[in-house]
Structure 1
């Protein structure tokens, strides 16, 4: 499971739901104090990585939060369609209902939220699928006309090559027709707009009358000389909007006469949602998706500062992604035979530690592999190789994919995995004490669980490969820190991963 911490500290869990026609990427954060409700967040065009409101601003919201990424085949979609194929919309809805089932909640416990493009999506999904609370900030109603005029690449992606006028009209009608039909008049709708929004006259004002007859329609008309454009409308209202989200999370919808306050069960069993998140985890277990193997250069070897070539194997992967100190280096395609080749432009002289992982076509990732080497100018002396006893060839030092060196891991016990070509077994030792061993699969992959918790604090484990005769090769050292926290659901992934 891939985990990250938002800037203000709320843990984000990343996943991909691949059960529908389109893989849907998402982030999830558990509720505070066991709150049972769910906020679904849709992204605007300017959202970093196409995740809206995912910069820590929602940290104080008490509900569970599901951020859905609007990035399908490399393009935005309003969460609706590609080439008028609305199975994309159904894939997004499928993820929401999957999370609801895992949380054991109903549509009455869901708030859909978004601004601009995300505001249109919040209105659409909220009304179409019957979610109780809808918070739509500066939306567009005539979506087809808007993308044709303002975002032509998105228009071609959604409406088809050439952007046929009949498709523009069809998508323009989706949201107004849905509101006009009154299929979910009991929804609590909160719509924010402003006359200072340049889209107000064409994209909001003509459609407000369609909400006549809705039980609880609230129009937040924000007018201020300090609002200068579309994005400023939302920014000027953030404190009040976050307060609204927490009221909805507590079961309080303004203008309702009967409410349930709180809705919290701190000791509630979370195994359903945890199992769903584990199954959808972006980073797969080594037994499912083995980490990539570096076949050259050798660990601890030397490469020229220019003209170096890296080779390896990543069966079943579409690409290999390489990083150093949290900095992205390259995405390298993987051939049909599982091989990959990378030729970096230049290295700075000295030691380097590069981490890499494999990814498949849907975006799922393998555990991490790392390779340490020295870059030297032509003519520089190579470092002396380690000296081992003479005799039969020793097994090579094993590659450890997880945990990565200097990583924080749960003290409750963390699995090790990696690759040991030609070995029969891999053994584990700490401070001279034998911790255990595991067999090596025919493809060289291995995985081991200590079967006990680690003492909180730093650890240095030696991982050693042995052949069928028990002859051991040089060790690979893995330094990590065990953290005693019951809240951890997986590994901390450094920024940029």
Structure 2
């Protein structure tokens, strides 16, 4: 076991060797004593074969267990290699030990994953009675998918020749669980999209079985920003995290069947732009302040920098440098204003930005003043 550097959240990295296959994991302790465990399964091409490990869960209050899907150098859907399901037994052994060590029950656990990880979350959640399952764009006919789409993974899981009988066995593992109605109290949250090329074969045929579950929640995302399977979860990360934050607090939302994602990236913005322009704090009719001192591009000694000018209609002139507020200079009845910093300026080039503010709080356009401060400058009198 060793400490692993995490993006913003300390983790412990280890290997559980109590089962037939060594299982690599990362673990982060809960925040503020939260009594929940989130188990994260990896999608294909996840960095280091750990899913959702890029810092997205940094603020999630639960304990987090990331499980690596790398067994004999290849992915396994956390199930099998060469149809030997010792991988599955080792993975559930790890989850059970962590859960028990925390003094938690399956009702205190959320299984989480997308794509391959979503399939694993659904499988382990249903078969082993975990309360919460979050599965984004899972594959429910695993055998066919790995044979046709990822044959390297398919040969590792199904055997070198990927025989049809073995494909059929893996194709059936999830549909058989759904047909049996196992774990009927599970809270299931699934995300998919018609823009996902896998939807019609891997998700849609099984929606009827999923809808038998009392708290099955299906987020059907129809966003123009989704261009394929890999973009569905990316587009839906905010709502997925919203679900996660509720689950770790013991709140299981009931969303039912929902559709969303009707963005309009090319929408006509002329109406709102016209409104904003007419009510903006920056008013085109309100003149920018005029600066008479210092003169443009003046070279001045550190102690002789003085600002002056006029801003008719304004009550003050606001003065900024490099995004930092310096001061406000009151404007007299005649429109004139002056400001002296009261301390020496650093040598070098300076750019100061000013704007006027009227009695209603409206701001003018900006005026930029550029000057240079040098130590040995003769000031003419």
TM-score by length of 2: 0.66
What secondary structure sits across from 1:119 in the alignment? helix
Which string of whole-angstrom CA distances, capped at 9 and with x for unpartnered residues, describes residues 335-355 of structure 1?
xxxxxxxxxxxxxxxxxxxxx
Alignment correspondent of 1:118: 117
What secondary structure sits across from 1:139 in the alignment? coil
Alignment correspondent of 2:60: 61
Distance 1:201 1:215 in 2: 23
Distance 1:109 1:201 in 2: 33
Alignment correspondent of 1:255: 254
- Per-residue deviation, 1:2: 1.2
Give the conservation status (yes or no) of the 8 Å contact 2:132–2:187.
yes
Structure 2 unaligned spans of 5+: 256-381
Distance 1:229 1:26 in 2: 30
Alignment correspondent of 1:441: none
Alignment correspondent of 2:218: 219
- Per-residue deviation, 1:87: 1.3
Q: Which runs of 4+ in 1 moved over 4 A?
A: none
Distance 1:226 1:51 in 2: 25
* Residue 24 of structure 2 corresponds to residue 25 of structure 1: yes
Alignment correspondent of 1:316: none
- Per-residue deviation, 1:4: 2.2
Alignment correspondent of 2:193: 194
Distance 2:212 2:141 in 1: 21
Which string of whole-angstrom CA distances, capped at 9 and with x for unpartnered residues, describes residues 349-408 of structure 1?
xxxxxxxxxxxxxxxxxxxxxxxxxxxxxxxxxxxxxxxxxxxxxxxxxxxxxxxxxxxx
What secondary structure sits across from 1:32 in the alignment? coil
Count of matched residue pairs: 255
Which string of whole-angstrom CA distances, capped at 9 and with x for unpartnered residues, describes residues 126-184 of structure 1?
00000000000000000000000011111111111201110001110110111111011
Larger radius of gyration: 2
Once superposed, what is the RMSD of the aligned Cα atoms?
Answer: 1.0
Which string of whole-angstrom CA distances, capped at 9 and with x for unpartnered residues, describes residues 35-55 of structure 1?
010000000001011000011
What secondary structure sits across from 1:40 in the alignment? strand
Distance 2:13 2:180 in 1: 36
Give the conservation status (yes or no) of the 8 Å contact 2:217–2:254.
no
Distance 2:147 2:223 in 1: 30
Alignment correspondent of 1:154: 153
Alignment correspondent of 2:370: none
Alignment correspondent of 2:346: none
Alignment correspondent of 1:90: 89
Matches within 5 A, 1:380-459: none
- Per-residue deviation, 1:255: 2.7
Distance 1:114 1:29 in 2: 17
Which string of whole-angstrom CA distances, capped at 9 and with x for unpartnered residues, describes residues 274-333 of structure 1?
xxxxxxxxxxxxxxxxxxxxxxxxxxxxxxxxxxxxxxxxxxxxxxxxxxxxxxxxxxxx
Alignment correspondent of 2:342: none
- Per-residue deviation, 1:213: 2.3
Distance 1:254 1:175 in 2: 24
* Residue 154 of structure 2 corresponds to residue 140 of structure 1: no
TM-score by length of 1: 0.51
Give the conservation status (yes or no) of the 8 Å contact 2:25–2:68.
yes
- Per-residue deviation, 1:5: 2.8
What secondary structure sits across from 1:58 in the alignment? coil
Alignment correspondent of 2:163: 164
Distance 2:88 2:43 in 1: 16
Give the conservation status (yes or no) of the 8 Å contact 2:25–2:65.
yes
- Per-residue deviation, 1:236: 0.9
Alignment correspondent of 1:236: 235
What secondary structure sits across from 1:33 in the alignment? coil
What secondary structure sits across from 1:220 in the alignment? strand
Alignment correspondent of 1:2: 2
Distance 2:99 2:16 in 1: 14
Alignment correspondent of 1:81: 80
Which string of whole-angstrom CA distances, capped at 9 and with x for unpartnered residues, describes residues 183-203 of structure 1?
111100001000011100111
- Per-residue deviation, 1:212: 3.0
